[in-house]
Structure 1
Amino acid sequence: MSKVPFSDPAWLMGLPSPYYNESHRRWQATIRPWLEENLHKNAFEWDTAELLPESVFKTFAEAGMLIPSLPCPLPVEWLKRVGINDIMGVKVQDFDYMHMAIYSDEMSRSGLAGPPGSLTTGMSFGVPPLIKFGNKQLQERFLPDALTGKVRFCIAITEPEAGSDVANIVTTAKKSADGKKYIVNGSKKWITNGIWSEYASMAVRTGGPGASGLSMLVVPLKGHKGVTMRRLKVGGQISAGTTFIELDDVEVPVENLIGEEGMGMRYVMTNFNHERLSIAIGATRQARTALSAAMAYVMKREAFGKTLIEQPVVRHRLAKAGALLESQQAWVESFVYDMVKLTKAEADVKIGGLTALAKANAGMVVNECAQCAVLLFGGAGYTKTGQGEVAERIYREVMGIRIPGGAEDVMLDLAIRQLVKNYQNETKKMERPQGSSKL
């Protein structure tokens, strides 16, 4: 059966690719029907209800299908300790960033970011600080239940007055007189999955102003004294559980410190590449879902005595959006391949800025493709039900891609600053030492 143009990336449309091996292809073929059955077939219904049944999270946890959202390489030793040796047939030690990218792409096939985000955001962004920087006692206390989905984590950084400006967060964590507890006061806003989470990996101010005063703590949330949480009504992705958290003299054991005091900014920054690349992959699939839905529609919809696809203006609009989409797809795949081949330290330096740019560009591409789809569906694309519903839903979610994970304008600026910094550092290495006549 032939596929609608733009409905899948080139490697799944029968074209050769240098990136995907047999393991990647088997993985994709295995997880697509599983995700269709356990997520996508009810995604629109659940997103309309603004909540996924609790059983869905349990199903994913029991199948190990929350784990692929973690940064690669996976924490193999810990996963084997908790009984997770493979994920849908792929051994955890063989799981790489290409597998992760396929997972992120397939999780977004419905076109909606809310349902997959409600399942994976906490695991993807909240658990890694413990894996990377937590000491042994902290890992022993939290990782077994976190990795198996028995408890849920979120990442809590953003505040009402500090979004992309992470260095200026104001939530404080001051030690008690006996030195046994941190007393946390402040608020966190736009925290995805927060409302369902037992714990947050939270950025707090333990020192003076600026980045050097930041630390990270594991802060208890659900049912904990001094913690108040409420869901926020956002424009799209509402089933992902965006949350406002208020913290009033919340007591946290000093043993819940992640890593060292004053290193919080570094810990926050280290997961940004993974977060932004994950967003870019999911957004690219959302753009694809919107554009392919429009493509299928214009090939059957008739107006003025012929199908819409026979109208040159329609083909022109599809071509412009399609060119942006496939360029973004190719760019994202090259980033994922880089993540497979580079060490974490190399990737942070060499492609950190470009990853921010890819995330920003993904938001612009999904905006163009979703807008194209809505216009081609016409009135149906402006209606919340019916055959144009997918276009209307995705267009509503565009700003949920362009703002979270680093606002678009901040990402554009960051990308250029990083590129300039890398250039200057490399140039400096080539300079002759001052006062030396040696070449």
Structure 2
Amino acid sequence: MTEMFDAAARSAVFFDETHRIIRDQLRRFVEQEIKPHAEAWEREGATPREVLRRMGELGFLGLRYPERFGGAGLGATASVVLAEELGRSGFGGVAITVLVHTDMAGVHILNAGDEAQQARWLPDIVSGRRIAAIAVTEPGAGSDVKALATRARRDGEDWVIDGEKIFITNGVRGDLVIVAARTEGAPPSSAGVSMLVVERGAPGLTVARALDKHGWRSSDTAELRFEGCRVPARNLLGQEGRGFYEIMRNFQNERLVLAAMAMGEAQAALALTLAHVRTRRAFGGALWDKQAIRQRLAMLAARVEAARHMIYALARRIEAGEETVREVSMLKALCGELVNDVMRDCVQFHGAMGFMRESAIERMARDARVQAIGGGATEVMLEEVAKRM
């Protein structure tokens, strides 16, 4: 099963030699430096900072960032390769820790920051010396970004932030938190939302609690509280009141990356299950000998391969600057549901062992569940598609 997906990726028109080298290097890193240790990280509730530093040293955190900041200056296809290989690790918490840093948080400084801000923060992001988080979601505002209640007001040479953020990946250990806050008195709407960089130790920023999750156990997730939190005026990213549009701008990349991560998870689950059914015996033969099982796995493999090709095609379109909101929304809904279809059948074919905490497939199924929720719930994505039909 794994070999089938590898062959397809290597023969696809979407890849060049650079992407193949990155994939091979990432796969070795996952096998040697993530898988042997990630069970311990699951118990600890976070991926060690040293892992990101090591990934920075190897160039994995800077794939999308300009060379002048230590990056590789590549496009969306490189992010897809990174997300897919991290997904294939089978540890969703590790994967999302890295991808939030590279493609969901730090990227806002690249997209909206001025030269001084980029020079100040991007080298540390690319090297992994400082970990980035993005704080948009609130207790009363998730996918509905227009409903944000956190506010920031100008006070002399500072912005003062008040509000709460929740479900913030890297929020406990993050060094740079990119906060979406309402900076104008307008009622809830797309107008008046701005983005500010809040550094660890800023007065008024507290981690209210570390959240206990169903899956993604090796990522830290926080509820953050801002109570008169002061940040310098120079920490405003982009234009005041234009933050909503910056968030929307990166949603396409974020959702593409989550889809690629999900399909990496699906590939790993199928490979694991294929090995299991070929050796597990029942009723006089291997489970693989049962036509119903073979055919269900074959259909899942076909659906995953089709989704992967859509991911790669959309990455190329994004690199070309094309409008892809409808198609990326389709993709996020498709992959979020598909990875859960794959996990359901893979757990089923593992039998009772698939229900045990000691089995990899049980952990992977828990991790995959959030793929239909985070980054844009399936229902929200389908509405985005329907509006454009």
- Report if TM-score (shorter chain) is over 0.5: yes
- Shifted more, 304-313 versus 54-63: the winner is 54-63
Q: Give the CA deviation at 1:312.
A: 2.0
CA distance in 2, matches of 1:140, 1:25: 30
Partner residue of 1:248 out of 209, 212, 227: 227
Q: For the pair shown, which has the larger CA radius of gyration, 1 or 2?
A: 1
CA distance in 1, matches of 2:161, 2:111: 23
Structure 1 residue 383 corresponds to structure 2 residue 356: yes
Distance 1:183 1:216 in 2: 13
Decide which of 54, 57, 72 is 1:59's aligned counterpart: 54
Q: Residue 144 of structure 1 aligns with which residue?
A: 123
Q: Does 1:354 align with 2:327?
A: yes
Contact 2:92–2:368 at 8 Å: present in 1 too? no
- State the distance in 2 between where 1:34 and 1:308 align: 33
Question: For 2:367, which of 397, 417, 421 is the aligned residue?
Answer: 397
Work out whether residues 43 and 110 of structure 1, in 8 Å CA contact, stay in contact via their aligned partners in 2.
no
SS at match of 2:37: helix
Which shows bigger deviation, 121-130 or 163-172?
121-130
RMSD over equivalenced CA pairs, Å: 1.9
Partner of 1:413: 383
Change (3 A) 1:338 1:8: farther
Query: Residue in 2 aligned with 1:184?
Result: 161
How many residues are matched?
386
Contact 1:384–1:393 (CA<8 Å) still a contact in 2? yes
Instruction: Quote the sequence identity (%).
Output: 29
Q: Write out aligned runs for 1:252-331 (5 A).
A: 252-331=231-310
TM-score w.r.t. the length of structure 1 is 0.83
Residue 225 of structure 1: aligned partner: 203
- Pick which of 238-247 and 104-113 moved more: 104-113
Q: Could you list the runs of 5+ residues in structure 1 that have no partner in the other structure?
A: 85-91, 421-439
Change (3 A) 1:321 1:296: same
Matched, 1:364 2:337: yes
TM-score normalised by L of structure 2: 0.93
Question: Separation in 2 of the partners of 1:212 and 1:285?
Answer: 37
- For residues 343-397 of structure 1, give each alpha carbon's deviation from its aligned partner in whole angstroms, at most 9, with x where no partner exists: 2xx2xx2x11211210111111111110111000000100111xxx121111112
Shift of 1:411: 0.7
CA gap of 1:56–1:15, structure 2 versus 1, over 3 A, is closer
Distance in 2 (CA, whole Å) between partners of 1:65 and 1:15 is: 20
| CA shift digits 1:135-194 (9 cap, x unpaired) | 233233323333322222211101010000001100000112xx2211110000011111
Whichever residue aligns with residue 174 of structure 1, its letter is: R
Letter in 2 for 1:290: A
SS at match of 1:67: coil
2:27 corresponds to which residue?
Answer: 32
Rounded Cα–Cα distance in structure 2 between residues aligned with 1:42 and 1:249:
40
Offset from partner CA, 1:91-131 (integer Å, 9 cap, x none): x24x3333332222112222221012223412322112221
Q: 46, 67, 81: which is aligned to 1:76? A: 67
- What corresponds to 1:433 in structure 2? none
Quickly say closer, same or farther: Cα 1:23–1:227, change in 2 above 3 A.
Answer: closer
CA distance in 2, matches of 1:272, 1:155: 12
Contact conserved, 2:9 with 2:15, CA < 8 A, in 1?
no
Verify the 8 A CA contact 1:9 1:329 in the aligned structure 2.
Answer: no
Tell me, yes or no, if the aligned pair for 1:40 and 1:109 is still in contact at 8 Å.
Answer: no
Gap runs ≥5 in structure 2: none
